[in-house]
Amino acid sequence: MKEIVTLIAVLAVFTNCTNSQQQSTTDDAAQVTIPSINTTWTDKIVKTEAEWKQQLSADAYEITREKGTERPFSHAYNDSKKEGVFLCVACQNPLFASNTKFKSGTGWPSFYDFYFEKSVAVGSDNSYGMSRDEVVCARCDAHLGHVFNDGPKPTGLRYCINGVALQFKPQQDLRSAVFAEGCFWCVEEIFESVKGVTAVVSGYAGGEEENPTYRQVGSGSTGHAEAIEVTYDAGVISYTELLKVYFNSGDITQVNGQGNDIGKQYRSIIFYKTDEQRTLTENYIKNLNDSGEYSQPIAVDVEEFTKFYIAEKYHQDYVKLNPNQSYVVAVSIPRYKKAIQLFPELLK
Number of residues that bind Zn ion (CB under 5 A): 8
- Which of 65, 101, 118, 139 binds Zn ion (CB under 5 A)? It is 139
Instruction: Please identify, among the stretches 114-122, 131-139, 252-260, 270-278, the one whose residues bind Zn ion according to the rule CB under 5 A.
Output: 131-139
Q: Any idea what the Cα angle at residue 206 is, between residues 200 and 207, rounded to 5°?
A: 125
Residue 140 annotated as catalytic: no
For Zn ion, the binding residues in 74-93 under the rule CB under 5 A are 88, 90-91, 93
| Measured distance CA(81)–CA(110) in Å, rounded | 12
| Measured distance CA(185)–CA(228) in Å, rounded | 9
Least Å from the CB of residue 54 to Zn ion? 16
Least Å from the CB of residue 93 to Zn ion? 4
What b/e readout covers 301-335, taking b as 16+ CB neighbours within 10 angstroms?
Answer: beeebeebbbbbebbbbbbeebeebebbbbbbbeb
Least Å from the CB of residue 50 to Zn ion? 17
- Which of 87, 137, 160, 205 binds Zn ion (CB under 5 A)? It is 137
Cβ atoms of 90 and 55 closer than 8 Å:
yes
Q: Does 142 bind Zn ion (CB under 5 A)?
A: yes
Residue 88 annotated as catalytic: no
Nearer to Zn ion, 84 or 257 (CB): 84
Alpha-carbon dihedral 291, 292, 298, 303, rounded to 10 degrees: 30
Nearer to Zn ion, 36 or 240 (CB): 36
| Measured distance CA(268)–CA(265) in Å, rounded | 9
Q: Which residues bind Zn ion (CB under 5 A)?
A: 88, 90-91, 93, 137, 139-140, 142
Active site residues: 160, 183
